[in-house]
Structure 1
C-alpha cells in the first residue's frame, strides 16, 4: 500500500525514562495544530458541480469537511465512500479521485491518504482532491445552514486560468452567442475557468465541459459524436478525444483570447435547461 506525500515517517527510538515515547512526541509535533479538514472539488465527466459543504457562499465549487468525519483506514477507496456519503452522491464504487487536478490518471484505491499531516493532497484549499462521480444527482437535497464567508479575490487559488472558445452551430449559420460571453463587442467569444474542466484533461473532457456550459448535447446523446473540437482557429483537423491537454504554464489551447479553441457542429440540447446558474458566472469566467 503506497502513501501519498505529506506525512513524515517517524523512526523508532528508545522509550524515555519518564514512560513516554520520544518517537510519539516527534510524530505529534509533525501534525498540524487546530482543526483538520479535507478540501475537495466535485466533478462529473461534464465538469464541476457545487458542493453541499461549500467553503464559501460565493464559490460553492470547493468543499471542506472535517477530517474527523472520515473513519480509518484512510485509503482512497474509503475516502471516496465517505465523500460520496457526506455529499449524498450515488455509486461511490464508480467514483474516481485525482490528485492533483492535473493528474492524467486516477489514484489507485489502495493508496493511503494522510489526513492529519501538516500538508499534502486535500489538506488545503490550494491543493484540493478532485472527486469524479457518475452523476451529480443526490440522494437528498441538503441546504447548508451555517453562514459562510465570502471567497477572497485570489484568482490563483479560486479561479485559476481562463480558456477562451467559440461555438459554431451545425446549421451552418456561423458562430453562436456564447453563454459565458464577457465582451459586448464580441458576444460569440466565451470564457471558462480551467478548474471547471473535469480530470483527466483531454480534448474529450474540454469538449464535454463546453457542451454542458453552452446547453449543447452531451456525451450519451446520439448527435454528440458529430461535434468536433479544434485547438485553434487555423487548425486543419479536429482534435482526437483522447488527446491530452496540459494547462501547466501560460500557453495551452484556448489560452489566448485572440486564438480560442473552436467547437464545430454544435447541436443545442432542447431538453436541457438553457440557463446557466448565476453562481457559475464569476467562477466560470473570471
Structure 2
C-alpha cells in the first residue's frame, strides 16, 4: 500500500470545463488587447500608465442570470393570474346578462298576465255597473212603447245578465274576428254576452241563428238573438235588449251601438233562454 494512501486529498474540486474556458477566454482577451496596444505604441512614446481593469466575476454573472430567471418566472405567474381573473370576470358578466334576460322575460310574462286580468276585471265591472241600470232602462222603454207586446217585457235572471253585458260594451270598436275585451265582431259580442249566463254559443253568426227556437219579431223578449239573412245562413246577429232596441257590433265605422229596431230591421229572431 502507498504510504500516502491514507492521507485524504485537500485539493479543491476542479472547476467545470465551461467555467474554466470562459475565464481563460476573458483573460486571454484582456492580455491580447494590452499586448497589441504595447506593440502599436511608438518607441519614443511616453510610458503608458497602467490601468487595472476590473472584470466581472463568475459570481456576479450567476447572480444576474438568477435574477433574470426569477423576474421571468414572476412575469409568467402574473400573466397567468391576470388571465385567470379575466376569465372569472367574463364568466361573471355572462351569468349576469343571462340572469337579467331571464328576469326580463319573467317580468314581461307577469305584465301580460296582469294586463289580461285587468281587462277581464274591467269588463266584469262594466257589466256590474249596468246590471241594475238595465232593469230601469228596460222598464222606461216599455212605458214609452206600450203599444208593442214585446217592448213591455223586462229582462230578468239570465236575460238581464246578457243585456247588461251587451250594453256595457257600447262604444267599443268593431274588429273582424274580435272577441273582446275591447273590440268585437257581431258574433263575438253575442257569444261573450251569453257566456255571462253560462251558455256557450257557436262562434259564427250562421250557427248562432240556428240555435234555439224561432220567434216572431212581434213577440220578442230581452236576450233574444236577432239575425239578418236566412236563419241558417245569417250574415249578422245582435241582441234584443227590450224597448224596441238591440245592441250589436255593427261595422268598423260605428263599432258597438244600441239602435232602434226600425234603424235596420232584422230578418228574424231566435230564443235560447
Structure with greater Cα Rg: 2
**If the length of structure 1 is used for normalisation, what is the TM-score?**
0.28
Compare the two structures and name the one with the higher helix fraction: 2
Which fold has the larger relative contact order, with Cα–Cα distance below 8 Å and residues 6 or more apart in sequence? 1
